[in-house]
Amino acid sequence: MQVILLQDVEKLGKKFDVKEVADGYARNFLLPNNLVKPATEEALKQLEAEKEAAAKKAESELRETEGAVAQLDGQEVEISTKVDESGKLFGSITAVKMAKILKDKGFNVSKNQIKLAESIKEVGEYDIVVEFPHRLEAKIKIIVTEEAKEDI
């Protein structure tokens, strides 16, 4: 029986693939679990339209992501924080903190996109990579400075 996969099925194929499967496998497992639909002429025409729509959506998302990467790439972000006499920070700067700072500056970035080997614990300049979907990435510079001390 020829079927169209409605979602990825392990050891069978990816969504939108047209596959030939055993009748029993289709009737007893794939169809009852809504993993496939029979590959009729009408369904194949509809499949082509769905593939086109998915391709257009992916292309649109790619353009949006490229725009976001272009805006963020090369940015320098200065972070002022309290430090002790040796230049160590009182609180480390983590991916969560960086994501919040970038959101405050108007960039839509989550903590999972920021790639840090370890938290920043000292004053200095750091090159950080922000990963985006479609394997795109932006490189930003984080400049950690000492917060100005108030005179008493």
Structural domains in the chain, sorted by start = 2-66 (3.40.5.10), 70-146 (3.10.430.100)
CA-derived radius of gyration, the chain:
25
CA 16 to chain CA centroid, Å, is: 23
- % pLDDT > 70, the chain: 97
DSSP code at position 147: P
The torsion angle over the Cα atoms of residues 71, 75, 80 and 83, rounded to 10 degrees, is 130
Would you place residue 89 in the very low, low, confident or very high pLDDT band (cuts 50, 70, 90)?
A: confident
What distance separates the 2 farthest-apart alpha carbons in the chain?
84
pTM over 0.95: no
Give the pLDDT confidence of 111-137 residue by residue, as tens digits.
899 988 888 888 889 999 999 888 888
Give the Cα separation of 108 and 86 in Å (integer).
34
